Amino acid sequence: AQSVTQLGSHVSVSEGALVLLRCNYSSSVPPYLFWYVQYPNQGLQLLLKYTSAATLVKGINGFEAEFKKSETSSHLTKPSAHMSDAAEYFCAVTPSPGGYNKLIFGAGTRLAVHP
């Protein structure tokens, strides 16, 4: 069964520093991979979607994600962290093959941004 592992349940960066969040998935090529952000007391907001058409995908709020098929991993990055980026980030994939009816989520990484 497909599984998703997010490396680091908590990540702390300084304002202006690089944000790097990591996600590993168990299938060699998940049909779709998504990064979501959850701000306190809010629902999940889609940051970006990967569909295997490219290895680098740009999302909202200055985030982008690189996909390394050989390593079955995805890295979510942002060159310069803002205080407003403090939130929890989730990686999710559709199960393969053909499992488009649900998303498999990682446990999440909570990002703290300090001055």
Partner 1 sequence: EAQVTQNPRYLITVTGKKLTVTCSQNMNHEYMSWYRQDPGLGLRQIYYSMNVEVTDKGDVPEGYKVSRKEKRNFPLILESPSPNQTSLYFCATRTGGYEQYFGPGTRLTVT
Considering the complex, state which of residue 53 and residue 70 has its C-beta at the smaller distance from partner 1: 53
Kindly indicate which of the ranges 18-26, 63-71, 78-86, 103-111 contains the residues binding partner 1, using the contact rule CB under 8 A. 103-111
Q: Do 110 and 38 meet the contact criterion of CB atoms below 8 Å apart?
A: no
Residues within window 17-56 making contact with partner 1, judged by CB under 8 A: 31-32, 34, 36, 41-46, 49
Token reading at 39: 């701000």
In whole angstroms, the minimum distance from the beta carbon of 115 to partner 1 comes to 27
Q: Which of 28, 40, 70, 101 binds partner 1 (CB under 8 A)?
A: 101
One-character DSSP codes across 56-112: EEE-GGG-EEEEEGGGTEEEEEESS--GGG-EEEEEEE--TTT-TT--EEP--EEEE
Q: Quick check: 4 binds partner 1 (CB under 8 A)?
A: yes
Tell me whether residue 85 is exposed, middle or buried, using C-beta atoms within 10 angstroms of its C-beta: 0 to 12, 13 to 18, 19 or more: buried
Q: Which of 50, 76, 106, 111 binds partner 1 (CB under 8 A)?
A: 106
Size of interface with partner 1, in residues (CB under 8 A): 24
